[in-house]
A and B are shown apart, each in its own frame.
Chain A
Amino acid sequence: MRNAWRHRLTVLPAVVTFLFFFALPLCFFLVISFWHLKHYKLVPNLSMDNYRRVFEQYFDAGVFTFGMALLIAAITTLLAFFIAYYIRFRSRRFGAVLLFVVLATLFGGYLVKIYAWKTILGTQGILNSMLGSLGLTQEPITWLLYSPTAVVVTLVHFLVPFAMLPMYGSLRGVDDVPLAAARDLGASGRRVLVDIVLPQCQPGLFAAFALSFLISAGDYVTPRLVGGPHTFMVGNFIESQFVNRLNAPIGSALSFTILAACLATLFAFKRTVAHLLKAR
């Protein structure tokens, strides 16, 4: 009994941190979404006005953000899966190097990475000058930077290492022998992948997708820096409501609307994947 208490007590500081700097602020932030602003002051209230305004004003932006986030999460998950698959099943030596590189760049240079893509994708950038000098293009491709493409490329690059973590973790748990057994029973490489490998790494698939979906749906720095004047994602509106107009209630309503929509999407994603990969 004394021990049980001690094992609970040691968790207390972490729980306190979690409560005071995560749960509490988010709850308060949620409450604020029902308040309103008068003369730049928050006034307690219980109205759905903010949410109504969100749907009226930001519906299109929300749909666009969703499309972007889905695209980015799908590409990231696929790429992370194939990299992890390569490392797990296709190569011993180079795979280890690749894994090390991916993990080492995991926690470094969020802004620096965005900036780097700016220098790569610009009209004077590396990619265009390389394509030009190879004679593949006559004029620089202008839609590479300051476009949704740039946002997708940049975020995928940033998110792949994060998606790799759960992906590789669950692929590492997949045993080799059943794969050989499936081949032996007549399955092609593709069927082995779909019937045997994918169903076993569902948790990794989901975690990778969820992480990249949530982060890209909530990002505002990337679209601001490489998205150009017409790529506005919900994050940009949230931030501008907050910073420029000091309208926390609208920003909050917008945040929670997008969060709720994200969670619903993830739930649907999980159900769909489980259904698709169900053994028959």
Chain B
Amino acid sequence: MSQQDRLATQPNEDEEILVRLRNLSKRYGRTQAVQALDLDIRKGEFFALLGPSGCGKTTLLNLIGGFAAPSTGVIEIDGRDVTALGPERRRTNMVFQGYGLFPHMTVRQNITYGLQIAKTPPDETKQRVARVTSLVHLTDLEHRLPAELSGGQQQRVALARALVMEPAVLLLDEPLAALDLKLRKAVQEELRHLHRAIGGTFMFVTHDQTEAMALANRIAVMQDGRIVQQGTPEEIYANPASEFVAGFIGEANILHGRRISGRIELDGGIVMADKGPDRRVIVVVRPDDVFVTDETTPEALEVALPGMVKDRIYLGTHDSLKVTLDCGHDVVAYIRAAHGADAPGIGDRIHIGWHTSGRRIVEKD
């Protein structure tokens, strides 16, 4: 398949695995940055590696890009074992954190550098550069030096420089980290648009869960060098596999307790029914699944717990209510700002509760 064809291919061959990692690990001295990890990335995916700093996600990206050699394991790209190859011999290209533009080259020279090395014929170079520069809106800036560009423009150069190589996988290391909030939204949109337009496979690393949710169609959450959960953003949000994932993705109330003969008992005497083996568990409730009620035994809610409003923060579309329950737990609830007038204020005594469908029981590890 020529590179032209590949570019035109739409991401409908979902099942085709493009990057296959098996038993991959990387050790730096005593620290195990990546631990015996398996991962498949399918063609056309916009894949996010999400995790807190130091979880090994950047190391994993560097392993795939060829910037570090794995201690064990195999990396296959497009069915070919590339484990021993350097970055210059892999069909991956990276958009680096901080961009890594060549400071002594113009925008155009930056973008054509890779094609020059590949000895691409001048006509084709011209064509590809023209297409990619118009794709990322750089056409008017071709003769500027990187130092003369804004942060957002620099990032687009970095993108163009990688995309012009038509990589099998485009790797992006914290692509939005250096941009301010407003620009971040714009670039997010642009990245989504680019992914749709060229139909390639993108893989990016981020520590920001909202960024991962907004961009990716599949997310792998990493913790201590391992992937602890992967799935679509919806799956991970709705069904966090562990306390760590629950806490990391979106806001969550995490209540500790134990399951004893089909009942969950939280500290302070809250009781819910749940089948399963006896063991320590946590109950995860998203703030938007917490309801405020003044009845003591509402029909629809699974529990109704008395408490006092500790703090209330106006957030535009909703209010965030911090409630200290009489049993000692702190719970955050989002309530509609429209109800502002009769909504509870600081110091009010209220009841809160949730539906059975609004909470998730996760076994403690």
Direct contact of A and B (CB under 8 A): yes
User: By the criterion CB–CB under 8 Å, are B87 and A178 in contact?
Assistant: no
By size class, the interface of chain A is 20 to 34
User: By the criterion CB–CB under 8 Å, are B65 and A184 in contact?
Assistant: yes
List residues of B (89-107) whose CB comes within 8 Å of A's CBs. Answer: 89, 92-94, 96-106
Q: How far is the CB of A179 from chain B (nearest CB, A)?
A: 8
User: In the complex, what residues of A have CB within 8 A of residue B87's CB?
Assistant: 180, 183-184
User: By the criterion CB–CB under 8 Å, are A175 and B117 in contact?
Assistant: no
A196→B93 CA distance, assembly (Å): 18
User: In the complex, what residues of A have CB within 8 A of residue B67's CB?
Assistant: 180, 183-184
User: By the criterion CB–CB under 8 Å, are A181 and B98 in contact?
Assistant: no
Please choose the segment from A88-96, A186-194, A206-214, A215-223 that sits at the chain B interface, where 4 or more of its residues have CB less than 8 A away: A186-194
Q: Does B118 contact A (CB under 8 A)?
A: yes
Contact A177-B96, Cβ < 8 Å, known A184-B87, A187-B88, A200-B104? yes
Contact A180-B105, Cβ < 8 Å, known A185-B117, A188-B88? no
User: By the criterion CB–CB under 8 Å, are A177 and B102 in contact?
Assistant: no
User: In the complex, what residues of A have CB within 8 A of residue B86's CB?
Assistant: 183
List residues of A (155-212) whose CB comes within 8 Å of B's CBs. Answer: 175, 177-188, 191, 195-196, 199-200
User: By the criterion CB–CB under 8 Å, are B105 and A185 in contact?
Assistant: no
User: By the criterion CB–CB under 8 Å, are A196 and B102 in contact?
Assistant: yes
Q: How far is the CB of A187 from chain B (nearest CB, A)?
A: 5
Contact A177-B105, Cβ < 8 Å, known A183-B87, A185-B114? no
User: By the criterion CB–CB under 8 Å, are A181 and B100 in contact?
Assistant: yes
Contact A279-B161, Cβ < 8 Å, known A180-B96, A184-B87? no
User: In the complex, what residues of A have CB within 8 A of residue B114's CB?
Assistant: 185-186
List residues of B (118-142) whose CB comes within 8 Å of A's CBs. Answer: 118
User: In the complex, what residues of A have CB within 8 A of residue B102's CB?
Assistant: 178, 181-182, 195-196, 279
Identify the closest chain A residue to B167 (Cβ).
Answer: A184
User: By the criterion CB–CB under 8 Å, are B117 and A187 in contact?
Assistant: yes
User: In the complex, what residues of A have CB within 8 A of residue B89's CB?
Assistant: 186
User: In the complex, what residues of B have CB within 8 A of residue A196's CB?
Assistant: 102
User: By the criterion CB–CB under 8 Å, are B103 and A178 in contact?
Assistant: yes
User: In the complex, what residues of B have CB within 8 A of residue A200's CB?
Assistant: 103-104
User: By the criterion CB–CB under 8 Å, are B113 and A185 in contact?
Assistant: yes
User: By the criterion CB–CB under 8 Å, are A181 and B96 in contact?
Assistant: yes
Q: Does A7 contact B (CB under 8 A)?
A: no
List residues of B (52-74) whose CB comes within 8 Å of A's CBs. Answer: 65-67
Q: Does B239 contact A (CB under 8 A)?
A: no
User: In the complex, what residues of A have CB within 8 A of residue B103's CB?
Assistant: 175, 178, 200
User: By the criterion CB–CB under 8 Å, are B88 and A181 in contact?
Assistant: no
User: By the criterion CB–CB under 8 Å, are A178 and B100 in contact?
Assistant: yes
A147→B332 CA distance, assembly (Å): 86
Q: Does B165 contact A (CB under 8 A)?
A: yes
Q: Does A280 contact B (CB under 8 A)?
A: yes
Q: Does B116 contact A (CB under 8 A)?
A: yes
Q: Does B109 contact A (CB under 8 A)?
A: yes
Contact A180-B100, Cβ < 8 Å, known A185-B114, A186-B114, A195-B113? yes
A182→B158 CA distance, assembly (Å): 11
List residues of A (253-280) whose CB comes within 8 Å of B's CBs. Answer: 279-280
Identify the closest chain A residue to B67 (Cβ).
Answer: A180
A177→B96 CA distance, assembly (Å): 7
A179→B87 CA distance, assembly (Å): 11
A175→B99 CA distance, assembly (Å): 11
User: By the criterion CB–CB under 8 Å, are A185 and B93 in contact?
Assistant: yes
Contact A280-B165, Cβ < 8 Å, known A177-B98, A186-B88, A199-B104? no
A200→B96 CA distance, assembly (Å): 19
Contact A177-B100, Cβ < 8 Å, known A184-B94, A280-B116? yes
User: By the criterion CB–CB under 8 Å, are A182 and B113 in contact?
Assistant: yes
User: By the criterion CB–CB under 8 Å, are B104 and A181 in contact?
Assistant: no
Q: How far is the CB of A147 from chain B (nearest CB, A)?
A: 42
Q: How far is the CB of B87 from chain A (nearest CB, A)?
A: 5
Q: How far is the CB of B93 from chain A (nearest CB, A)?
A: 6
User: In the complex, what residues of B have CB within 8 A of residue A185's CB?
Assistant: 88, 93, 113-114, 117, 161-162, 165
User: In the complex, what residues of B have CB within 8 A of residue A182's CB?
Assistant: 102, 113
Task: Name the residue among B66, B67, B100 with the largest chain A CB count within 10 angstroms.
Answer: B100
User: In the complex, what residues of B have CB within 8 A of residue A181's CB?
Assistant: 94, 96, 100-102, 158, 161
List residues of A (23-45) whose CB comes within 8 Å of B's CBs. Answer: none
Q: How far is the CB of B55 from chain A (nearest CB, A)?
A: 21
User: In the complex, what residues of B have CB within 8 A of residue A178's CB?
Assistant: 100-103
User: In the complex, what residues of B have CB within 8 A of residue A179's CB?
Assistant: 100
Identify the closest chain A residue to B117 (Cβ).
Answer: A186
A187→B162 CA distance, assembly (Å): 13
Name 12 A/B residue pairs within 8 A (Cβ), A-sorted: A177-B98, A178-B100, A180-B67, A181-B158, A181-B161, A184-B67, A184-B88, A184-B94, A186-B114, A186-B117, A199-B104, A200-B103
B positions within 8 Å CB-CB of A: 65-67, 86-89, 92-94, 96-106, 109, 113-114, 116-118, 158, 161-162, 165
Nearest 9 pairs between A and B by C-beta? Answer: A177-B100, A185-B114, A181-B100, A279-B105, A186-B117, A178-B100, A183-B87, A186-B88, A184-B87
A positions within 8 Å CB-CB of B: 175, 177-188, 191, 195-196, 199-200, 279-280
Other 8 A-B pairs with CB < 8 A, given A180-B94, A185-B114:
A177-B99, A177-B100, A181-B94, A181-B158, A184-B88, A184-B93, A186-B165, A187-B117
